């Protein structure tokens, strides 16, 4: 059966989720993956979940990195597959990887929950430098923000 290349997007987690953070990647370019295989862990402001391969195939491009913040629908990976049920995702221009980050990664990487908590407290996460990042992958977590707020009130 003939193969073709598909662009696999970052999944949509519903109308209220505008960004997802890549916690970890479990595949790399050149790897053969099978449908349902866990290929990444992603985090929304509500939970961390495992992202599964949509089809059998070979990963041609994986332009995302752990810690990046992505918008739903952005390019997650390009896959060579023969699964005709995914023909609607076929890329027309071959392997051309576009920028995928919803915003540039800063020195400190904030989880969506941490960002929301800081903003609700009237703080701008981009200006906070006195916070300890203890979340997965060295990211600023909601618990880190809560500790910072308690420390600042004391």
- Contact yes or no for 133/139 (Cβ under 8 A): yes
Tell me if residue 59 falls in helix, strand or coil. Answer: strand
Residue 93: band (very low, low, confident or very high) from pLDDT cuts 50, 70, 90: low
Average pLDDT of the residues of the chain: 83
pLDDT per residue as tens digits for the range 104-138: 444 678 888 888 888 899 888 888 888 888 877 67
Residue 26: C-alpha distances to residues 22, 51, 64, 88 (Å): 11, 10, 12, 25
Quickly state the pLDDT bin for 97 (edges 50, 70, 90): very low
| Rounded-to-integer distance, Cα 95 and Cα 75, Å | 12
Closest CA to 11 of 46, 37, 50: 50
Indicate if the alpha-carbon torsion angle 98, 135, 17, 77 is positive or negative: positive
CATH of 112-153, one of 3.20.20.120, 3.30.365.10, 2.60.40.790, 4.10.320.10: 4.10.320.10
- Identify the CATH class of 4-89: mainly beta
pTM for the full model?
0.60
Give the Cα separation of 112 and 43 in Å (integer). Answer: 8
% of the chain residues with pLDDT over 70: 89
Is the pLDDT at 13 greater than 80? The verdict is no
pLDDT of residue 44: 82
User: How confident is the model over 9-33, as a mean pLDDT?
Assistant: 87
Q: What ranges do the domains of the chain cover?
A: 4-89, 112-153
Radius of gyration of the chain (CA): 18
Q: Does residue 21 have a pLDDT over 80?
A: yes
Instruction: Inform me whether the pLDDT recorded for 96 exceeds 50.
Output: no
Q: How many helices (H) and strands (E) does the chain have?
A: 2, 8
What tens digit of pLDDT does each residue of 34-75 get? 999 999 999 887 788 899 999 999 999 999 988 888 888 888
């Amino acid at each position: 059966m003939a193969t073709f290349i598909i662009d696999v997007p970052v999944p949509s987690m519903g109308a209220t989720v505008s960004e997802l953070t890549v916690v970890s990647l479990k595949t790399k370019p050149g790897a053969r993956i099978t449908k349902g295989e866990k290929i990444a862990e992603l985090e929304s402001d509500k939970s961390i979940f495992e992202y599964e391969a949509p089809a059998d195939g070979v990963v041609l491009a994986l332009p995302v990195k752990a810690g990046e913040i992505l918008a739903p629908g952005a390019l997650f990976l390009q896959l060579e597959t023969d699964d005709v049920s995914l023909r609607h995702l076929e890329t027309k221009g071959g392997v051309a990887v576009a920028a995928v980050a919803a915003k540039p990664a800063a020195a400190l990487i904030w989880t969506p929950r941490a960002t929301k908590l800081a903003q609700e407290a009237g703080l701008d996460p981009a200006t906070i430098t006195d916070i300890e990042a203890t979340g997965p992958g060295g990211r600023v977590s909601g618990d880190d923000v809560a500790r910072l707020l308690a420390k600042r009130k004391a």
